[in-house]
């Protein structure tokens, strides 16, 4: 596919903003959208404009540190979060942030969207964790998403909203749609008595399918059975996360990093010691 021109990317940001607003994923001036123009520059939405009514000349151009290079308006302070994504994920070309109400409801309730229940979510997005609350516009915000960015293409932001990333603008936008759709279905399923999880076997089959869609599978998306409930499977990695990505878990205020097999072995040891 030919690289889109700057004019095309400006038009695409306007269209993605219009869709976010039309679908109620943003209210008033909420949300922001950005895309890589080349190796050194980003094109992004300006601060304090409604994403539903933007025009192509409103966008600003910054370097990868967020310093403005061109544009009459200033970039949003929430862009620090986007910069963190671009720093850590060379494969990501575009980032979208919005406050879709059902997914944000899960983020407010502290419930991650991490259950293996929908085949298309397992194959295209993986699980959606919640990054700890951080004051919007501060340096806390990029710090809170930092540890999730490498392994996930979609992240809920506690008491705030959602963040998605992709290989192009529409790819990042569609992931926001998928998260909100997934949240709606999860909410209804919980109202009706709770989700029935996909089996490990089925999740394994879906992992193989990712390959036939041309999506590289970096690691098992479901840890090997450990003697626990065979239905208890959580999808952990996004399909585009870099190979060898490790799980991150908090422990006693410090951070420990585990591979899947290390984590599985730890759980097996714990279960054995309880017997
Ligand atoms: Zn926000």
* 249 alpha carbon – ligand 1 mean position (Å): 25
Average of per-residue pLDDT across 20-43: 97
Residue 255 annotated among the catalytic residues of the structure: no
CB-based contact 170:164 (threshold 8 Å): no
* 267 alpha carbon – ligand 1 mean position (Å): 36
* 144 alpha carbon – ligand 1 mean position (Å): 13
Task: Report the side by side order of strands in the sheet with 161-166.
Answer: 68-70, 60-63, 41-44, 32-36, 94-98, 161-166, 154-157, 130-131
* 135 alpha carbon – ligand 1 mean position (Å): 10
Average of per-residue pLDDT across 237-243: 64
* 21 alpha carbon – ligand 1 mean position (Å): 13
The reported pLDDT for the residue numbered 201 is 82
> Is a pLDDT exceeding 50 seen at residue 251?
no
The pLDDT-based confidence of 167 (bands split at 50, 70, 90) is: very high
Single out the catalytic residue among 6, 15, 78, 84: 78
């Amino acid at each position: 596919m030919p690289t889109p021109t700057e004019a095309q990317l400006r038009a695409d940001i306007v269209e993605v903003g219009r869709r976010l607003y039309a679908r109620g994923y943003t209210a008033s001036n909420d949300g922001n959208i950005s895309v890589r123009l080349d190796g050194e520059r980003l094109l992004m939405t300006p601060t304090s404009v409604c994403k539903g009514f933007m025009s192509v000349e409103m966008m600003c151009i910054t370097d990868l540190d967020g310093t403005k290079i061109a544009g009459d308006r200033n970039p949003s302070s929430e862009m620090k979060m986007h910069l963190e994504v671009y720093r850590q994920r060379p494969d990501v070309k575009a980032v979208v942030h919005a406050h879709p109400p059902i997914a944000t409801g899960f983020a407010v309730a502290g419930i991650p969207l991490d259950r293996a229940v929908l085949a298309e979510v397992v194959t295209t997005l993986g699980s959606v964790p919640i990054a700890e609350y951080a004051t919007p516009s501060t340096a806390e915000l990029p710090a809170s998403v930092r540890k999730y960015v490498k392994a996930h293409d979609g992240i809920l932001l506690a008491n705030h909203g959602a963040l998605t990333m992709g290989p192009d603008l529409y790819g990042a936008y569609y992931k926001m749609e998928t998260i909100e759709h997934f949240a709606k279905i999860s909410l209804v399923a919980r109202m009706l008595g709770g989700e029935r999880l996909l089996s490990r076997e089925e999740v394994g089959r879906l992992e193989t399918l990712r390959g036939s869609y041309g999506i590289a599978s970096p690691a098992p998306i479901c840890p090997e059975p450990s003697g626990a409930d065979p239905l208890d499977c959580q999808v952990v990695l996004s399909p585009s996360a870099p190979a060898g990505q490790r799980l991150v878990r908090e422990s006693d205020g410090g951070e420990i990093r585990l591979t899947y097999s290390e984590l599985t072995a730890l759980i097996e040891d714990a279960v054995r010691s309880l017997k």
